[in-house]
Amino acid sequence: MTVGTASSLSASLEDYLAVIFWIVAAKGAARARDIAKRLQVKASSVTGALQLLAQKEYVNYRPYEPVTLTREGFDQATRVVERHRVLREFLTGVLGVEAETAERAACRLEHDIPGAIAQRLVAFNEYVRNLPEKERRLVEAFAERDTAVATDGDSVWPRQTTVADLKAGREAVITAVKGTSRVSRRLADMGLGRGALVAVEAAAPMGGPIRVKIRGYRLALRRQEAEGIVVVEG
């Protein structure tokens, strides 16, 4: 199925359209009080949203009468609902995100994801479903890993990137320096402090030193030191 973007609709109006879609599917028509109850909003907010959707010819609306979807409204609502499903399926089935968390995340992401990316997710979900059992098990094993998941806007990452992870030629910005205060001070004195741009030039094999360049200077770091310098790549 083609999953497009909902043009000329705000995130709020998309939510209204999706709720109307489900109510109409169950009851044949939607009433303002049912919409308000589902979205937990005031009746006045529902009236304003229905007026806007009617102006865009997505719903058939008259005060005090049941609401139905126009043909275009049905198609648009279908796209909104399908984007939500695709995102939720990817988050739960591929990434192994807990269902309730995935549902909340899908509600946030569905309004902004471009249609081309949504289509790629559709294709990837289908690809995973059709994998041979042995290969599909690799995806499932990843989903089953005990990986920390960000919730309610707080980023919680299972692993941070360090200078030791950077490949030769890569640049990154230092965000933190771990270790004892003495080590942190020594590295800061060498220019390896928070906010500095660092580039890896070469890494010796077998856990040998890593040569970096920072603000015009070249330094050789022990592997243990490099592992304590947290960075973010561009």
Q: Provide the CA 192 distance to its chain's centre, in angstroms.
A: 31
For domain 163-233, give the CATH number: 2.30.30.90
Residue 155 has pLDDT above 80, yes or no: no
Q: What is the mean pLDDT of the chain?
A: 83
Characterize 168-184 residue by residue with b for buried, 16 or more Cβ atoms within 10 angstroms of its Cβ, and e for exposed: eeeebebeebeeeeeeb
Each residue's pLDDT tens digit, 105-138:
888 888 878 878 888 888 888 888 788 877 777 7
When pLDDT is cut at 50, 70 and 90, the band that residue 3 belongs to is low
| Rounded Cα gap, residues 125 and 143, in angstroms | 13
- Any idea which fold 1-158 has? Arc Repressor Mutant, subunit A (1.10.10)
When pLDDT is cut at 50, 70 and 90, the band that residue 1 belongs to is very low
| Rounded Cα gap, residues 73 and 53, in angstroms | 8
Tell me if 47 sits within 8 A of 37, measured CB to CB.
no
Boundaries of every domain in the chain = 1-158, 163-233
Max CA-CA distance within the chain? Answer: 76
When pLDDT is cut at 50, 70 and 90, the band that residue 40 belongs to is very high
The pLDDT of residue 53: 96
Residue 176 has pLDDT above 70, yes or no: yes
Each residue's pLDDT tens digit, 69-91:
999 999 898 888 888 888 888 88
